[in-house]
Amino acid sequence: MRITVLAGGVGGSRFVRGVREECARRWPDGEGGTTASVTVVVNTGDDIWLSGVRLMPDFDSLLYSLAGVNDTERGWGRAGETERVSAELREWGVGWPWFTLGDLDLGTHLARTSWLRDGLEVSDVCERLQRRWPLGVRLIPATDTEVDTHVRVADPEASGDGSGSGEREMHFQEWWTRYRATLPALGFRQQNLADARPAPGVVEAIADADLVLVAPSNPVVSIGTILAVPGMREALAATPAPVVGVSPIIGGKVVRGMADACLPAIGVETSAEAVGRHYGFRRDGGLLDAWLVDETDATAATALSTEGLLAASAPLWMHDLDRSAALAGAAIDLGTAARSA
């Protein structure tokens, strides 16, 4: 069973840990001749050059979480982290004072940047980083090109004619961490998209999969950025594998995080049904063969089903590993249903 997952950081990590666990339970290594392999196509839109180093927040969230070295209380970064270097950088006036880089985390960024300076591609660097721990899954960045997301916001002071109708653009990380996504976003734009291609192995992982899962990740800045890489949608449209999406929206609210600040900017309502319709169904030229929503959104599944679309409901809260694994199991089962539909 080859499963390929499209994922962002926090929602992505919880989901992928569930997929890994569920696969280990369903297909214990080699038993009955079936094994499972999981490949994760990771969002790179949050990546940024800061303080002289390259950060890849979503990749690192997945790496730390799957390796079991993550800080489970904070929900991001390394466990047992210290911030001595960040304090020094602040004294030097380097970097962003509102953006703390942990010392252990900086070790990762330095290693990554060192290998990039040696001329390695981003995907090669990611491959090296995950050799350190037995993750049980393979992580591939969506693209080797730097497609950092920029956010367009209203800025009355930026208008040259004094009309107060100006706009300005900032890196997604500044909008997200400095302004906590409270400045209304007018739009999101990924850099260098025209030159971007899926990283080596991505198209193959989608084409050769038995099942493609879209994690309950931010539909705009995580999944949206992965899909925006030229060639990605074509690969997904062409795969013989069913594509099953899991809703990041439960009961009209985002779960953990500030994704509700992103959906309005692209004109999508914050609801499980709207996000499913936004991804669209392959039958109509969209992404999905099936859409999984929370139990409390069962009416959304019914509404889609009456149109002949495959949708189901299951508990989508990933409170612990057991519940994440059960959710992954429901998504795998929905894939089986899609295959026989």
**Does 329 participate in binding ligand GDP (rule CB under 6 A)?**
no
Residues in the chain: 341
For residues 221-238, b (16+ Cβ closer than 10 Å) or e, as one string? bbbbbbbbbeebeebbee
Q: Which of residues 22-81 bind Ca ion (CB under 5 A)?
A: 46, 58
How many residues in the shown chain lie near ligand GDP by CB under 6 A?
A: 24
**Does 77 participate in binding ligand GDP (rule CB under 6 A)?**
no
Question: Measured from the CB of residue 13, what is the shortest distance to ligand GDP in angstroms?
Answer: 7
Q: Which of residues 164-193 bind ligand GDP (CB under 6 A)?
A: none
Token duo for residue 28: 């214990």
Cβ atoms of 201 and 250 within 8 Å: the answer is no
* 185 touches, from Ca ion, ligand GDP, none (C-beta below 5 to 8 Å by class): none
Token duo for residue 147: 């497609």
**Does 99 participate in binding ligand GDP (rule CB under 6 A)?**
no
**Does 248 participate in binding ligand GDP (rule CB under 6 A)?**
yes
Question: Measured from the CB of residue 254, what is the shortest distance to ligand GDP in angstroms?
Answer: 4
Which amino acid type is present at position 108? T
* 10 touches, from ligand GDP, Ca ion, none (C-beta below 5 to 8 Å by class): ligand GDP
**Does 11 participate in binding ligand GDP (rule CB under 6 A)?**
yes
Cβ atoms of 205 and 3 within 8 Å: the answer is no
Question: Measured from the CB of residue 258, what is the shortest distance to Ca ion in angstroms?
Answer: 11
* 248 touches, from Ca ion, ligand GDP, none (C-beta below 5 to 8 Å by class): ligand GDP
Q: Of the two residues 241 and 318, which places its CB atom closer to ligand GDP in the complex? A: 318
Token duo for residue 135: 């993750």
Report the C-alpha gap between 148 and 152 in whole angstroms.
13
For residues 156-195, b (16+ Cβ closer than 10 Å) or e, as one string? eeeeeeeeeeeeebbbbbbbbebeebebebeebebeeeee
Stretch that binds ligand GDP, among 64-72, 128-136, 137-145, 246-254 (CB under 6 A): 246-254
Question: Measured from the CB of residue 269, what is the shortest distance to ligand GDP in angstroms?
Answer: 14
**Does 8 participate in binding Ca ion (rule CB under 5 A)?**
yes
Q: Which of residues 264-283 bind ligand GDP (CB under 6 A)?
A: none
How far is residue 259 CA from its own chain's centroid?
12
Stretch that binds Ca ion, among 8-16, 100-108, 233-241, 305-313 (CB under 5 A): 8-16
DSSP for 171-233, please give it. EHHIIIIISTT-SPEEEEEETTGGG--BPTTHHHHHHT-SEEEE-S--TTTTHHHHHHSTTHH
**Does 10 participate in binding ligand GDP (rule CB under 6 A)?**
yes
Nearest to 275 by CA among 245, 299, 305, 306: 245
Q: Of the two residues 52 and 251, which places its CB atom closer to ligand GDP in the complex? A: 251
